Amino acid sequence: MLRTEIVRGLATLLRAVESSNVLDVVERVYRELTRQTGEVRMTEVLESYQKFLLAYNSSFGPVERQMMRTLEVQDFAEAEWWSTVIGAASGSAKTQEAAAAIGHPLFRLRFVADYLPQVVALMKRDSDPDVAAMRADIHAGGERPGHLLLILPEDGGKFSSPLRLTAAIESVTILYEAFAELGGQTTTDLVVKSCDSGIDKVFEFQGLVPLIDRVKELLLDLWDNVIYYREKKFSERLELTAKHLPVLAEIADLEERKQLQKEKAELLRRKFTQGATKFFEAGSSIPEMLRHANYVPRQLLSPKETLLLATRSAA
């Protein structure tokens, strides 16, 4: 789970807790059970239950749901547990059994609400991207102008070698600079604005909107070629995808019309091919590739075996 996902997931959970008043209501039910005079009306319980479940079903994604399971507060989203709370509020539940069932998740949620925001605040950095914007980029296809998210999937207990990280970052840098040279623009304005890691590693680049757009366009062309040549062996697929990029035809056309010198054209061809090859070899992807619903980038764009390594236990 990405650090930014933890921050965002906790915020979503706490908003649902606050808007539904679920913590206060269930605490009063518990106090009434343990004879600590925590009076509560049934209408409050039902309204709190309804509001929390509505927020859970409409706003919670895989990250928030996993977080609830990890924090052991998943009961708050389960109808069977709420039937115990409602029974306790009505006086029909057995006091000892109901108190035990309600108490554990209640105490866990109280701890989450009281202490985790301060802990998570320690995880934030000034360079962190806007969490909602990053989530939108990854899950909705990457719409922020001038931003590019480079995703390096890591599955099966294996992690990226330094060579993989270097190749992935270099691929974007090379392509950005090549497009800048092709358009006669500066190449000094691309920055790595932020990075994050969890299940996958994510790097956020920021640069000139026209150049970022062209890099994304090339990577989507590369993705189309990967899909088209998906039945080929890795080495053959790598060669074919890099050689059939539309930008290479664009360079050839400019060279034919004498708008690009032969030496410059050859240099740009090599840069575009090199950048695309590094991107492919590193098993990189961008959120926009997810729009191809029938194919999953992490499956077709798997990295070279030598770039993913399993960790060894310390002796």
Of 91-95, 271-275, 287-291, which gets the smallest average pLDDT? Answer: 91-95
Residues 277 and 170: their CA atoms lie apart, in Å, by 11
Q: Which of the two residues, 136 and 253, has the higher pLDDT score?
A: 253
Spell 271-299 as b/e; 16+ CB within 10 A means b: bbbbbbbbbbbbbbbbbbbbeeeeeebbe
Cross-strand pairs, 147: 206
Question: What pLDDT shows up at residue 143?
Answer: 62
Q: For 16-71, how does the pLDDT look when each residue is reduced to its tens digit (9 = 90+)?
A: 999 999 999 999 888 888 876 667 888 999 999 999 999 899 888 888 898 899 99
- CB-CB contact of 6 with 120 (8 Å): yes
**Average pLDDT of the segment spanning 288-312:** 60
Question: What pLDDT shows up at residue 244?
Answer: 82
Residues 15 and 117: their CA atoms lie apart, in Å, by 12
Question: What pLDDT shows up at residue 236?
Answer: 76
Pairing of strands 308-310, 158-160: antiparallel
Question: What pLDDT shows up at residue 238?
Answer: 74
Residues 170 and 23: their CA atoms lie apart, in Å, by 49
Q: What angle do CA 156, 275, 233 make, to 5 degrees?
A: 55
Q: Of 210, 276, 281, 286, nearest to 246 (Cα)?
A: 276
pLDDT at 107 over 50: yes
Question: What pLDDT shows up at residue 152?
Answer: 86
Share of the chain above pLDDT 90, in %: 33
* 309: confidence class by pLDDT, cuts 50, 70, 90: low
3-state secondary structure (DSSP) of residue 26: helix
pLDDT at 313 over 70: no
Burial (CB < 10 A; 0-12, 13-18, 19+), residue 261, is exposed
Q: Which of the two residues, 103 and 121, has the higher pLDDT score?
A: 103
pTM: 0.58
Q: In what order do the strands lie in the sheet with 191-197?
A: 147-152, 201-206, 191-197
Residues 218, 220, 225, 230: is their CA dihedral positive or negative? Answer: positive
Q: For 109-145, how does the pLDDT look when each residue is reduced to its tens digit (9 = 90+)?
A: 999 888 887 776 666 655 555 544 544 444 444 567 8
* 92: confidence class by pLDDT, cuts 50, 70, 90: confident
Question: What pLDDT shows up at residue 268?
Answer: 93
Residues 184 and 259: their CA atoms lie apart, in Å, by 12
Cross-strand pairs, 191: 206
Hunting for tokens 């995808």 — which residue is that?
241
Burial (CB < 10 A; 0-12, 13-18, 19+), residue 233, is exposed
Spell 98-129 as b/e; 16+ CB within 10 A means b: bbebbeebbebbeebbeebeeebeeeeeeebb
Q: Which of the two residues, 238 and 193, has the higher pLDDT score?
A: 193
Question: What pLDDT shows up at residue 240?
Answer: 79
Residues 45 and 51: their CA atoms lie apart, in Å, by 10
Question: What pLDDT shows up at residue 178?
Answer: 93
| DSSP structural state of residue 203 | E
State which amino acid sits at residue 168: A
Q: Which of the two residues, 198 and 280, has the higher pLDDT score?
A: 280
Q: For 197-221, how does the pLDDT look when each residue is reduced to its tens digit (9 = 90+)?
A: 766 788 889 999 999 999 999 998 8
Cα distances from 75 to residues 14, 26, 52, 80, 83, in angstroms, run 15, 12, 12, 8, 11
Pairing of strands 191-197, 201-206: antiparallel
pLDDT at 12 over 70: yes
pLDDT mean across residues, the chain: 81
Q: Which of the two residues, 172 and 295, has the higher pLDDT score?
A: 172
- CB-CB contact of 31 with 23 (8 Å): no
